[in-house]
Amino acid sequence: MTSIFKRVVPNVPSAWQLKFWVRRYEIPEHLKTIATDSDPSFYRMVDYFYHSAVQVAEPSLIEHLKKHMHLSDKKRMQRVAGILKVMGSCNSSLQFEFPLQRKNGDYEIVHAYRSQHSVHRLPCKG
């Protein structure tokens, strides 16, 4: 499990390498052990990967705003942090169950879920 995380989540460059100062985004304490856990829950893995992606993407998003918007460094950082917070929260979730009859006559209950995260940009994605 640990080798998969090392391949998927690359090392984040330091702020000195990025030529501008950026706050160092920290993964929440309760998620730091996910990379070494033998069988983490799906929800915790999704949460961990979101925070890992924020760690990697935040500096380049701030740099992108530098090219396209005339804002101070502080305002750019606040804007990116705000958008990432909106993206990270789940706006709505739906859980439903329905019966399914197999060809052999057996019945099975299918558990289904739908969550919408991306209402910061329309159309919404699940």
What residue ranges in the chain does DSSP mark as E strands? Answer: 92-101, 107-116
Q: Mind listing the pLDDT tens digit for each residue in 92-113? A: 888 999 999 999 999 999 999 8
Domain spans of the chain, in order of start = 2-89, 90-126
- How would residue 116 be classed by pLDDT, with cut points 50, 70 and 90? confident
At 94, give phi and psi (nearest 5°).
-135, 130
Rounded CA separation 51/31 (Å):
9
Q: What percent of the chain has pLDDT over 70?
A: 75
Quick one: angle between helices 73-88 and 42-68, nearest 10? 150
What pTM was estimated for this model as a whole? Answer: 0.60
pLDDT at 3: 52
In the chain, the amino acid numbered 17 is Q
